[in-house]
Amino acid sequence: MTETMVGILLATLGAGTPLVFAALGELVTEKSGVLNLGVEGMMIVGAVCGFAVAAESENLWLGVVMSVFAGAGMALLFGILTLTFQANQVAAGLALTIFGIGLSAYIGLDYTSVALTGIQQIHVPVLSDIPVIGPLIFSLDPLLYLSFVAFGAITYFLYKTKTGLLLRAVGESPESAVSLGYPVIAIRYMAVLFGGAMAGLGGAYLALVYTPLWVEAMTAGRGWIALALVVFSTWRPARVMVGAYLFGGVTIIQFHVQGFGVDIPSQLLSMLPYLATIVVLVLISRDINTIRLNAPASLGKAYHPSV
């Protein structure tokens, strides 16, 4: 019984981690006032590029690095469109996703049947062998630890550093930030690029850890869920984590339910994680004051420098 529980928890962490990366990245982007709807596209391009490089070089970490750059590259494209040329953010984001899905299918043509051994869990002597705590704390895969670090670092950055404060201020009122002499566009570029890099990492986790293989459209809407997580978590990192693991948990449980042969169409069960995550997050974030206090007021609006 304990072993099953530990198994479910581990699988939950694994299923939630791509979302953790992508949603935390998007959170930083949105905090600067930019709405990038291209998360799905950046994630899947990150996944296929990482997988391709890992397969060719037989170096998984080179693959991870490639994913990060690929995600950031996609984000750069979005940044040029929306920040330099002031294109509509919603339209540009949607286009980015469609472009990313198509591009990834093309890049991935030769890799659909390639088998790869994914990134493995670490093993700490003695500690990893402690029952329950061992597998849950001391023998996870390195990227999972990185996602925890990313959560801590982003929270610290946003709420404890002056640069983080500035990022939030730019999302709140770019006009005020400019009148104080801050480079709004440059700050937004940084935030957009970071968001892309994190989405790429999310893709890497999918293709190199979670299911170490490449399948067309393998992100399966996780980019969209990441976007929803950011909104329904009212732009707070801790709630993003809760939402991501909730999604992961429901995903795993519905697999088990299917495994028991319960007489519910599998399509309905596959819907469950998406549905449950959104319902729960909507319920815990109904308070309009928290939304107003945490939502970036200029989200999605292009900033036209007038001077």
Partner 1 sequence: MTTNESTNLEPRLELRGVTKIYPTVVANDDVNLKVVPGEIHAVLGENGAGKSTLMKIIYGVTRPDRGEMFWEGKHVEVSKPAEARRLGIGMVFQHFSLFETLTVAQNIALGVDEPFDLQQLSDRISEVSHRYGLPLDPKRLVHSLSVGERQRVEIVRCLLQEPKLLIMDEPTSVLTPQAVRTLFETLRRLADEGCSILYISHKLEEIRELCHSATVMRGGKVTAQADPRQETATSLARMMIGRELPVFEHGAAKGDGTSRLVINGLSRRSDDPFGTDLKDLHLEVKGGEILGIAGISGNGQQELLLALSGEKPLDRSDAAAIKIDGHGVGHLNAAARRDLGLTFVPEERLGRGAVPPMSLSENSLLTGHRNGMVRFGLINNNKVREFAEKCVKNFDVRCGGVQAAAKSLSGGNLQKFIVGREILQKPNVLIAAQPTWGVDVGAAAVIRQELIDLRNEGLAVLVISEELEELFEICDRIVVIAEGRLSPVKPTAETDMEEIGMWMSGLFPGEEADNREIAHA
Of 4 and 306, the one with the shorter C-beta distance to partner 1 is: 306
Residue by residue, DSSP assigns 282-297 as HHHT--HHHHHHHS-T
Q: How far is the CB of 168 from partner 1 (least distance, A)?
A: 7
Give the pair of three-digit tokens for residue 83.
């920040």
Q: How far is the CB of 53 from partner 1 (least distance, A)?
A: 39
Of 15 and 187, the one with the shorter C-beta distance to partner 1 is: 187
Of 147 and 285, the one with the shorter C-beta distance to partner 1 is: 285
The DSSP output letter for 208 is I
Q: How far is the CB of 150 from partner 1 (least distance, A)?
A: 22
**What is the amino acid identity at position 227?**
L
Q: How far is the CB of 170 from partner 1 (least distance, A)?
A: 9
**What is the amino acid identity at position 45?**
V
Give backbone dihedrals phi and psi of 205, rounded to 5 degrees, phi first: -60, -40
Interacting residues with partner 1 (CB under 8 A): 161-162, 165-166, 168-169, 172-173, 175-182, 288-289, 292-294, 297, 307
Of 176 and 266, the one with the shorter C-beta distance to partner 1 is: 176
Give backbone dihedrals phi and psi of 86, rounded to 5 degrees, phi first: 60, 30
Of 145 and 159, the one with the shorter C-beta distance to partner 1 is: 159
Q: How far is the CB of 307 from partner 1 (least distance, A)?
A: 5
Q: How far is the CB of 29 from partner 1 (least distance, A)?
A: 18
Q: How many CB atoms neighbour CB 300 within 10 A? A: 16
Map residue 18 onto helix, strand or coil. Answer: helix
**How many CA atoms lie less than 13 Å away from 91 in the CB half-sphere?**
6
Of 129 and 175, the one with the shorter C-beta distance to partner 1 is: 175
Q: How far is the CB of 162 from partner 1 (least distance, A)?
A: 4
Of 277 and 298, the one with the shorter C-beta distance to partner 1 is: 298
List the one residue out of 237, 248, 251, 215 whose CA is nearest residue 294. Answer: 237
The whole-angstrom separation of Cα 236 and Cα 226 is 13
Map residue 141 onto helix, strand or coil. Answer: coil
- Tell me if 37 sits within 8 A of 90, measured CB to CB: yes
